[in-house]
Every structure is written in C-alpha cells, then in structure tokens.
Amino acid sequence: MARLSIAALYDRLFQVYGPQGWWPAESSFEVMVGALLTQNTAWRNVERAIAALRSARALTPRRIVKAAPQQLGRWIKSSGCFNVKAGRLQHLCQWYLDQGEHAVLAGLPTALLRPALLAVHGVGQETADAILLYAFNRPVFVIDAYTRRLLYRLGIIYGDEDYEALRGLMQQRLARRRNTTQVYNQYHALIVQHAKTVCKVKPRCNVCCLQRRCQQRLD
DNA sequence: ACCCAGGGTCATA
DNA sequence: TATGACCATGGG
C-alpha cells in the first residue's frame, strides 16, 4: 500500500472531520492566554480558567500584569501548574504591553515576531507557533506530540526529528496549497481533534489505520 | 490508583 | 545534546 502523503492526509482528515473553527476565543489576546494556559493541559480546564478571568474582569494584559501572583493563580487554578503559569502569563502580558499590544506586533514580520515570542520566559516553540498562527494569522505550522505520533504511525517520519525539522517538512509539503495559513490552521486542529476522539475510542480508526504500521499501537 | 492533557524550564551528566 | 524532575488540576 502506498504511503499516505502529508497533503493527502490533510484532505482525508478534513473529509472526515470538516472545518474546525480554531482558535476558540473572542479576541487575539485571548488566544495568547489560552495558548499559554493549555500547555500540557486539557482544553476543558483552560476554558474554566479563562471564564474565571473573564468573570473577574481580569482578562486584559494590564489586569493580569497588575494582579498579585497569588490572586492570578486562584483564577487560573483549573488549568493546572497554576503557580508556574501565573508567572508565565505575567511575562507574556508584560511583553505584550511593552511591545505596544496587537497593532504594533501585527506590523512585525514573522521573522522578527517569532524570535521575540520565543524570548518570553515560558513561551516555547509550540506555544509561540500557536500564537503566531492563531492570534497573528501567520503561515506557521504548529507541531505537537499528536502530529509527531500520527506521522510516525503512518510511516511518514522516523520519529526522532526535532521540532524545526518537522515544521519545515509540513510547510514544505503544503507549500503548493491555495491558502497556506488556513490550511495550517485547519490541519493542526484536525490532528488534535482526531487524536482526542477517534484514536482514543477506536484504536483502529479510519484515518491513520489505512496504513499497516498503524494497525498496532506503537507507544 | 493510575495515566494523560492542545509544554516549558531547570539541573545534571 | 539528552534525559529526568517538576509543576498540579480534572477526567478517564
């Protein structure tokens, strides 16, 4: 059986799950907050944290920076690792204010914006790229553990490639597409959706198990 | 009682 | 560079 290509996998996922409507948020700033809070955390718990911030009227960069760390921790408690994340959230918001907020940042080229995000303490590659793609609408593919696992099961990668190698691979294979930013947006969301529904319920799902190597669980 | 979730940082070797 | 510990809640 011929190996499924990265481009064909996208079409298959989209065919099965349809458009995903990511990122669920009311503003680009809220996307940034969510991207940070969802680090190693189920989205459900992040929603509660964001709801708590909103009902406390604390869902703004200034309120978050001004808040006492302990208070901030209480608001975002449901997202786990709350002491760590309270600090990270304040670093991110302080940076956001220092840079002049969204309008200024939106004017920066991705080649400058990405390193700037990565320089924020608590923002790693996946979080930075999620912010670039979903808050700033930049054509940057977000690599996560699900992406790596799925590509590995499909025999598309070895599995030991580093983050940048995978991001480069995904972007290269999708370069011919019409609207790459929209494709990256949907693709990442589709992989997450696929991972937390079908693969979990049905070990032999109708997407990744088109391939032999996927007939057995490899992790 | 485990294991994992829409990760990242830090100490150690 | 490459592991491991740590953060810590909520759901399965």
Report CA(A193)–C1'(B5) in Å, whole number. Answer: 13
At A121-149, the pLDDT tens digits run 999 999 999 999 999 999 999 999 999 98
**Alpha-carbon span A99 to A128, nearest angstrom:** 16
* Least confident window among A76-85, A135-144, A182-191, A198-207: A198-207
Would you say the C-beta of A175 is within 7 Å of strand B? no
In strand C, which positions have an atom below 7 A from any protein CB?
7-11
In the complex, which nucleotide's C1' lies nearest to the CA atom of residue A39?
Answer: B7
Contact call for residues A60 and A33 (beta carbons, < 8 A): no
pLDDT band at A3 (very low <50, low <70, confident <90, very high): confident
Distance A217 CA to B2 C1' (A): 20
**At which residue do the structure tokens 């718990």 appear?**
A45
Rg (CA), chain A: 18
Asked if residue A51 keeps its beta carbon closer than 7 A to nucleic acid strand B, the reply is no
Q: Give me the mean pLDDT over the A155-183 stretch.
A: 96
The residue count of chain A comes to 219
What pTM did the predictor assign?
0.93
Q: In whole angstroms, what is the distance from residue A105 CA to residue A109 CA?
A: 9
Q: Can you give A102-128 as a three-state secondary structure string? A: HHHHHCCCHHHHHHHHHCCCCCCHHHH
Distance in angstroms (rounded) separating the CA atoms of residues A150 and A8? 14
- A41/C10 CA-to-C1' distance in Å: 9
- Calculate the angstrom distance between C1' of C11 and CA of A42: 9
Within 7 Å: CB of A165 and strand C?
no
Q: Judge contact between A153 and A216, C-beta under 8 A.
A: no
